[in-house]
């Protein structure tokens, strides 16, 4: 999940820079960055659950609940920028 989300971030940034020469054309940039931060938080806290940090499990579960809505958000905003490229 971490590598997939980083790959999409890279494709999004490189593709948009190559096409427009700049970033930030829509809320999709913000939604994408939020999704990546949440995934890193989720994976990072998951690694700490075994070390019996009491807050790690709470952070893992909380970031995953927010991630659910984050993925919906990045998909909807991504879908709306796709419309620009359709004939
Ligand atoms: C976690 C998943 C994703 C991440 C992290 C991500 C990240 C990004 C980023 C950072 C950009 C540059 C945006 C800008 O500077 O304005 C971008 C562009 C773009 N993304 Fe995504 N993206 C994700 C998923 C998606 C999905 C699911 C779609 C399609 C449904 C999509 C379609 C696009 C398109 C069409 C662009 C070009 C934007 C434009 O023309 O303004 N992305 N993405
Ligand atoms: C980022 C990648 C993820 C990794 C590496 C990961 C890893 C882990 C680990 C190691 C545990 C502890 C298992 C144990 O108790 O021994 C755990 C618990 C859990 N994870 Fe994840 N996870 C990931 C993403 C997710 C996602 C996306 C969801 C939700 C859709 C999720 C939901 C849960 C739940 C519900 C628990 C149990 C929490 C509890 O016992 O209170 N995880 N995860």
For residue 50, the ligand 2 atom closest to its alpha carbon is 16
Ligand 1 mean position, distance from CA 61 (Å): 26
Per-residue pLDDT at 63? 98
Per-residue pLDDT at 66? 98
Nearest residue CA, atom 36 of ligand 2? Answer: 61
Residue with tokens 């659910």: 68
Per-residue pLDDT at 86? 87
Per-residue pLDDT at 13? 96
Helices (H), 1-87: 2-20, 27-49, 54-82
Condensed to tens digits (0 to 9), the pLDDT of residues 7-59 reads 999 999 999 999 999 998 899 999 999 999 999 999 999 999 998 888 999 99
Domain ranges of the chain: 2-85
Interacting residues of 2 by C-beta distance below 8 A, sequence separation 6+: 39, 40, 43
Q: Which ligand is nearest to the CA of 59?
A: 2
Rounded Cα distance, 46 and 17, in Å? 33
CA torsion, ordered 65, 30, 16, 76, to nearest 10 deg: 50
Per-residue pLDDT at 59? 95
């Amino acid at each position: 999940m971490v590598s997939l989300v980083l790959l999409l971030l890279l494709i999004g940034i490189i593709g948009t820079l190559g096409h427009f020469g700049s970033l930030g054309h829509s809320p999709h940039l913000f939604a994408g960055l939020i999704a990546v931060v949440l995934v890193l938080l989720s994976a990072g806290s998951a690694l700490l659950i075994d070390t019996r940090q009491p807050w790690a499990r709470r952070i893992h579960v909380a970031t995953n609940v927010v991630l659910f809505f984050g993925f919906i958000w990045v998909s909807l905003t991504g879908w709306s920028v796709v419309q620009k490229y359709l004939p």
